[in-house]
Amino acid sequence: MGLKITYFVHGTTTDNEKGLSSGWSDVGLSKLGKEQSVKLKDKLKGKKFDAVFCSDLKRAVQSARLIWGNTIETIKDERLRECNYGDLNGAKSEKVDALMESAIDRPFPNGESYRDVEKRIRSFLKDLAKDYSGKRIAIVAHRAPQLALEVILKGKTWKQAMKEDWRLKKAWRPGWDYEIK
């Protein structure tokens, strides 16, 4: 039996509005981010999930709570965190983005690599497949975990996933679907 996953990105943060890449900095949603999450809730009417998982970082937790409230338990999992940019947590996005490809295999200074994120997500997916087979789950998290899903479940290379990232074209949508067969 397969497992269906719908992936949602957290709403806009105060760092996003300043052109900063938060990484493991625990920043909250901006006013716009809160509004986006409430609007997403309306777009999801009628969609049922057996479980909702989110990163343990504030911005993902806030988004999940604004979307689902108390209608379903939200399970926080630190493996869904954004990439740890190390010394660059909270740095200008251009600086972080310029190092993305080189950080596929080599960690950000005092941080982690995208392969490290992939290992976290593989561990998370292994547990999901074991505990939620045949279910539909929602995930609320960040860019790097979503790119890792593209690599793991869609068979893309890291460079391909980064080059095709919806964020580059501002092509947001209300959820991305993945499946573990």
Q: Any idea what the CATH number is for the domain that residue 67 is in? A: 3.40.50.1240
CA–CA dist 76, 61 (Å, integer): 8
pLDDT at 170: 86
pLDDT at 46: 85
Candidates 35, 82, 112, 179; catalytic one = 82
pLDDT at 176: 95
Candidates 10, 118, 142, 150; catalytic one = 10
Digit-coded pLDDT (tens) for 10-44: 999 999 999 999 999 999 999 999 999 999 998 99
Residues above pLDDT 90, as percent of the chain: 90
Digit-coded pLDDT (tens) for 36-79: 999 999 899 889 999 999 999 999 999 999 999 989 989 999 99
- The count of structural domains within the chain is 1
Confidence of residue 2 (pLDDT cuts 50, 70, 90): confident
82 given a catalytic annotation: yes
**Count of CB atoms within 10 A of residue 48's CB?**
8
User: With contact defined as beta carbons under 8 Å apart, do 124 and 77 qualify?
Assistant: yes
Range of the domain at 81: 3-180
Could you tell me the pTM of the whole model?
0.95
179 given a catalytic annotation: no
Digit-coded pLDDT (tens) for 140-149: 999 999 999 9
Q: Is the pLDDT of residue 1 over 80?
A: no
